[in-house]
Amino acid sequence: MQFSINKTSLLKELNLIQGVVEKKNTIPILSSFLVESKGSSYISLIATDLDLSFQTECAADVTIPGAAVLQARKLFDIVRNLPDAEINFVREENEWVRITCGASEFKIVGQSKEHFPATPHAVQPGRAIPAETLHDLITRTIYAITQEESRYALNGALLTLFNDKIQLVATDGHRLALASSPLESCDGESEKMEINIPKKALTELVKLTSGEEGAVEFSKDENHLFFKMNQRQLVTRMLTGQFPNYELVLPKTNDKTIPFNTEKITQSIRRASLMADERSHGIKFELGGGKLNITSQSADLGEARETLPVDYQGETFSVGFNAQYLLEFLNVVGTGEVAFELKDEQSPALVRPVGDEKYDYRYVVMPMRLL
C-alpha cells in the first residue's frame, strides 16, 4: 500500500469517525481504523465497535493499492500535528506503515486487514431523508434518552417513518421528547416503519448531518440500519425490546396554557436552580395573580426566587420540576416563545414551541414532589 493525501481532507474524515472507536475494549483491534486503497484516486477509512460502524472515503493519489489496520488515536494524533502539506503513506513488508510529511517521519505498527471485523452493507434502495431534518429531530430528542443501561429498550430513540412524515421519540420514564416533520411522500403505498436507534448511533448521525444540505439515504435489513450520505455511511444494529406506548403519556386534558419568552424563562430557571438540591435539581413553579414565582431551596446552600409576569389569571397552584429537564428542552427548542400546558401539581406538563411551522415538537415532563 502506498498513497499520498492532503492533510486537511484526511484529518476531517479521521475526526468524523473517531467517536466510533472504542476507548476501552477487550478486543484491541476495535481501537483501530482500517485504511484501504482500492482504486487509484481515493482511500476508505472504517471504524467499528461491532454494534456500530462508520465508513468514509477520502481523495488520494494511490500508487500501490492495499490495506492496513492502524491504531486510531495514534494515527489521529500524528495527522493532526503534521504540517499542512501532502502526507505520504507506505506499508512496509513487516506490516509497519511509514508516514512522511515534509521533514517529519513516523513509523506506526500495523495489522493485516484479515484481522479487522467485516462490516455489513446495504442490499436494497434507501428512503431519502433531508439531512437538516434528521439532524434537528435528533438534537430535539436525544437528551431525553435514559442514562440507565439496564433499561435496554429506552437506550435509544424510536424512529417512525410514515409515508409522508418522520417522527422521533425518546424517553427515560421521567420526561418524553417527541419531534416530527413532514416528508415527501413515497411513490405508491409504503408501510409504517418503526425502529429503535441506539444513542451512540444518534450521536454519530448528528455529526454526519451537521451543516449538510443534502439527503441521507436510509435503509435497513433484518438487524441493521444504514445511513448513507455522499461518501459516508453509518451502520448500526437496531435495539430490540418493546418501546413504551408513548401515546398514553401525552397529556390531553391540560387546561392551563401559559406562554413565555424563551430566553427569559430559560434565564430565570437557570438562576433559580443555582440554589436547588444538587441531586434532584428541584425547583417550584408558583402560579397566580398574573405572575410566576420560580423558587428553590437547599438546607446546605440557601434559597432563590425569580418572578416573571405571566398571562394567567386562573386559580393559584404550585408544581415542582427538575430544572435540568426543563433547561435541556429550552436549549434546543429554537423558537422565541414557548408554551407550558399544565393541569395540577400531580399531572405531567406539556411544553411546546410557539410559532414553529416546520416541526411538531412536544415535551412532556413529570412533576416532582417538593417539600
CATH superfamily of 250-365: DNA Polymerase III, subunit A, domain 2 (3.10.150.10)
Confidence class of residue 190 from pLDDT cuts 50, 70 and 90?
low
* Assigned C-alpha cell, 85: 502539506
Least confident piece of the model among 14-28, 283-297, 347-361: 14-28
Q: What is the pLDDT of residue 139?
A: 97
The pLDDT tens digits of the residues spanning 67-123 come to: 999 999 999 999 999 999 999 999 998 889 999 999 999 999 999 999 999 998 887
CB atoms within 10 A of CB 115: 11
Task: Look at strands 165-171 and 156-161 and give their pairing.
Answer: antiparallel
* Assigned C-alpha cell, 55: 465508513
In angstroms, rounded to a whole number, what is the distance separating the alpha carbons of residues 335 and 332? 9
Sign of CA dihedral 134, 139, 141, 144: positive
Q: What are phi and psi of 130, to 5 degrees?
A: -55, 130
Q: Which amino acid is at 62?
A: V
Contact criterion met (CB below 8 Å) for 1 and 64: yes
The answer to whether the 2-115 and 127-246 domains have the same CATH topology is: yes
Confidence class of residue 215 from pLDDT cuts 50, 70 and 90?
very high
Q: What is the pLDDT of residue 187?
A: 59
Q: Is the pLDDT of residue 186 over 70?
A: no
What average pLDDT does this structure show over 11-38?
A: 89
The pLDDT tens digits of the residues spanning 141-174 come to: 999 999 887 777 889 999 999 988 999 999 999 9
Mean pLDDT for the chain overall: 92
pTM to 2 decimals?
A: 0.92
DSSP string spanning 201-243? HHHHHHHHHTT--SEEEEEE-SSEEEEEETTEEEEEEPPPSPP
What average pLDDT does this structure show over 292-319?
A: 92
DSSP state of 17: H
Q: What is the pLDDT of residue 40?
A: 86
* Residue % of the chain over a pLDDT of 70: 98
Confidence class of residue 22 from pLDDT cuts 50, 70 and 90?
confident
What average pLDDT does this structure show over 125-140?
A: 93
Cα angle vertex 42, ends 38, 44, to 5°?
70
Q: Is the pLDDT of residue 189 over 60?
A: no
Structural domain boundaries in the chain? 2-115, 127-246, 250-365
What's the CATH architecture for 2-115?
Answer: Roll (3.10)
In angstroms, rounded to a whole number, what is the distance separating the alpha carbons of residues 171 and 154? 7
Contact criterion met (CB below 8 Å) for 115 and 29: yes
Q: What is the pLDDT of residue 211?
A: 87
In angstroms, rounded to a whole number, what is the distance separating the alpha carbons of residues 52 and 238? 10
In angstroms, rounded to a whole number, what is the distance separating the alpha carbons of residues 177 and 157? 9
Confidence class of residue 346 from pLDDT cuts 50, 70 and 90?
very high
Q: How many residues are recorded in the chain?
A: 371
Q: Is the pLDDT of residue 222 over 90?
A: no
Q: Is the pLDDT of residue 25 over 90?
A: no
The pLDDT tens digits of the residues spanning 236-246 come to: 999 988 899 99
What average pLDDT does this structure show over 257-268?
A: 96
The more confident residue out of 99 and 311 is 99
CATH superfamily of 127-246: DNA Polymerase III, subunit A, domain 2 (3.10.150.10)
The more confident residue out of 123 and 13 is 13
Q: What are phi and psi of 166, to 5 degrees?
A: -120, 140
